[in-house]
Amino acid sequence: MAARSTATSLLSRRLGAAAVRTSAAALFDASFDSLKLSFLPEAVIFPRNKADIGVVLLLANEHNIPVTVRGRGTSLTGSAAPRRGGWVIDLLQFDRIKIDVTAGMAEVEAGAKVADIQNAAEKVGWFYPPDPSSKEYCTIGGNVACNSGGMHGGKYGVTRDFVMALKGFMPNGDWVEWGTPTRKYAAGFNLRDLWIGSEGMLGIVTDAVLRLIPQPAARWTLLLSFSTEAAAFRAVAKLFRLRVRPAICEFLDRYSVQCAEAATGETVFPGQPGRPVILLELAGSPAEIRAERLILLKWARENALAFRAAKTREDAERLWAVRRKCSGAMFELGDSKLNEDIVVPLRSYGKFVRFIDGLRRSSQLSIPCFGHLGDGNIHVNIMYRGADPEQRRAAEAAVEELMAAVVKLGGAISGEHGIGLAKSPFLRLQHSPAQVNAMMAVKSALDPKGILNPGKMFEVFPVWEHKRLSIALPWDHK
């Protein structure tokens, strides 16, 4: 520890005391993310310019200091928490956004907020589709590091599908540029894509060039209810067979709908409380919407119990209320929530519904599910009372069972949140020893001293043995 504080003093002399903060408040603020497990760093660094990041990494390698990069700290897995202490680099001040209207690209700095990028693009007729629910807070650097996704994923894809080029620093402090601001790129190993989803463990992103698509001229929203979750899933499979790809295809099971209905005091479909629903949104040119709307209406009549289409944007907003309300409203079912962002392949949807029903029975917990049916990324919300040891044990066991089942069904233990600390116990369920060894070999080739974000992903972290902070964050209940 003495060696670390000597290195911190050295860094402070190089960058200036204003760039290297060590106050108790600064250290605490940088010690956790949305998983709310706290690990205090020795210093939080606010680089004056990008070259400072290289200086930090050079010194960190020289003195064996762990370095964790931080965007906004909305990660739900603990990936942004400095598990081994050391230095946290805060990149929020690098937030420039420049839209190239001709090429349809956004040149952005890592600390730019995702909603700001979307808004800047929209103002000039372009669209950046990846839209995590946290987009009003999270940064594009964090989105690249976690390969984040959102409701538009089923039709348009996730962050990876929109990154053309990245700039930043290798763990040893070398400046690198991966990819070019061009739509095609086949010049050597693709380390750009290796950085995407690497959770701040293989490099530090300072800049990104993002592909944009034309802003859809029109949107059309349809809300449908079904008798059962299985019926809803079967209907969606039929829709995909009709070759219709809605821009958004959100599913809420009956428990999620019941939560939203309790919160608003209104039934989504009068006379049919607590039915599973699907919320669809078409996006495209008016002609495309007209053609797809006809197909959708016929499909809705044949498959849904009831449905309602939006005639105006205000109508659409009203249809969206059930989706917007459900997540926060779940806290009526328990003060603690494990939001597991698993993915199941379309062919396994039916088996998944049966599994979740069984899990509810065996765990005796409330487990409302909702999510992006367009890409199979379903959020399984295990609700429990944090102070009740029996419920805590049941929740822990339910997560274990869920992860094993998802892998057995051919799915993924995470679709967008990543591994970090929270999912580290399950990495080896998803990956064979050969696969894990290959990933670890990449890590040690690029970061031989293990400087960047150590103690994550590959080391099994016993999340349940650690007490979470009981503090409210601005994005809680979103």
Ligand X SMILES: Cc1cc2nc3c(=O)[nH]c(=O)nc-3n(C[C@H](O)[C@H](O)[C@H](O)COP(=O)(O)OP(=O)(O)OC[C@H]3O[C@@H](n4cnc5c(N)ncnc54)[C@H](O)[C@@H]3O)c2cc1C
Residues found near ligand X in the complex (CB under 6 A): 33-34, 68-76, 79-80, 91, 110, 132-134, 138-139, 141-143, 145-146, 148-150, 199-200, 204-205, 416-417, 453, 475, 478
CB of 111 to ligand X, least distance (A): 7
CB of 204 to ligand X, least distance (A): 5
| C-alpha 35 chain-centroid distance | 13
Residue with tokens 């974000």, as numbered in its chain: 453
CB of 91 to ligand X, least distance (A): 5
Taking the least distance from each CB to ligand X, the nearer of 38 and 453 is 453
Crossing angle of helices 313-329 and 254-264, in 10° steps, is 100
Q: Is 462 exposed, middle or buried (0-12, 13-18, 19+ CB in 10 A)?
A: exposed
CB of 268 to ligand X, least distance (A): 22
CA dihedral for 65, 66, 72, 78, sign (positive or negative): negative
Taking the least distance from each CB to ligand X, the nearer of 141 and 425 is 141
Our CA angle for 402, 406, 411, nearest 5°, is 155
Taking the least distance from each CB to ligand X, the nearer of 95 and 401 is 95
- Tell me the CA distances in angstroms from 399 to 104, 317, 453, one per residue in order: 42, 34, 25
List the alpha helices (DSSP H) in 196-312: 229-241, 254-264, 286-303
Taking the least distance from each CB to ligand X, the nearer of 4 and 152 is 152
CB of 437 to ligand X, least distance (A): 22
What stretch of H or E contains 319? Answer: helix 313-329
- Tell me the CA distances in angstroms from 200 to 49, 67, 170, 228, one per residue in order: 19, 9, 10, 41
Taking the least distance from each CB to ligand X, the nearer of 145 and 446 is 145
Taking the least distance from each CB to ligand X, the nearer of 304 and 419 is 419
Residue with tokens 């070759």, as numbered in its chain: 243
CB of 217 to ligand X, least distance (A): 25
CB of 34 to ligand X, least distance (A): 4
- Closest by Cα among 51, 61, 56 to 8: 56
Taking the least distance from each CB to ligand X, the nearer of 210 and 304 is 210
Taking the least distance from each CB to ligand X, the nearer of 307 and 426 is 426
List the alpha helices (DSSP H) in 16-139: 24-29, 50-63, 114-123
What tokens were used for 329?
Answer: 């409203």
CB of 264 to ligand X, least distance (A): 20
What tokens were used for 104?
Answer: 């349809």
CB of 434 to ligand X, least distance (A): 25
| C-alpha 333 chain-centroid distance | 23
Taking the least distance from each CB to ligand X, the nearer of 275 and 443 is 443
What tokens were used for 78?
Answer: 């603990």
The bridge status of strand 87-90 relative to strand 67-70 is parallel
